[in-house]
Amino acid sequence: MTDRISTGGDIDAYCTKCKLKLEHFVLAIVDGAVVKVKCKTCGSIHKFKGTPAARPKAPRKPSTSAKSFVSTQAQWETAVDTAHGPDLPYDMESSFRAGDLIVHNFFGKGVVLKTYVGKCSVLFRDKERLLATSNT
């Protein structure tokens, strides 16, 4: 014997409020298809959804982090070789110029690429960072 769904009957449906597949009351049927249900748990009334729609997954792009790290490291090595002057300890109250070699307590050795008012862009081994300075 087959179960026949009728108005007022019970049906398992995906609740859009609870975000779970739960038991619902059937409120409306159109052309033999359930169209509106009421959740027995939260009481929300919504369109019938048998299960949450499975979204097609977008193909993943190949990771560029390894490539960018290698290119950043090669760029850093070149910048360190072409940098001028002695290694300057990084201090927020110091001023730096493009091409200066600085040593940061946490990030290590870096090369100043650009200077701005109150900050400078420094290329470290792993990536470029913006540091606070007293540049004017």
pLDDT in tens, 39-62: 998 999 999 987 555 556 667 766
Please state, in angstroms and rounded to a whole number, the distance separating the CA atoms of residues 67 and 98: 26
Please state, in angstroms and rounded to a whole number, the distance separating the CA atoms of residues 123 and 112: 6
Asked if 128 and 112 count as a contact pair (C-beta separation under 8 A), the reply is no
pLDDT in tens, 60-115: 766 655 556 668 888 888 888 888 789 999 999 999 999 999 999 999 999 999 99
Percent of the chain exceeding pLDDT 70 equals: 84
Pick from 61, 78, 58, 60: nearest CA to 70? 78
pTM of the model: 0.50
| Residue 120 pLDDT | 93
Q: Is it the case that residue 117 has pLDDT exceeding 70?
A: yes
Q: Which residue has the higher pLDDT, 3 or 37?
A: 37
Residue type, 27: L
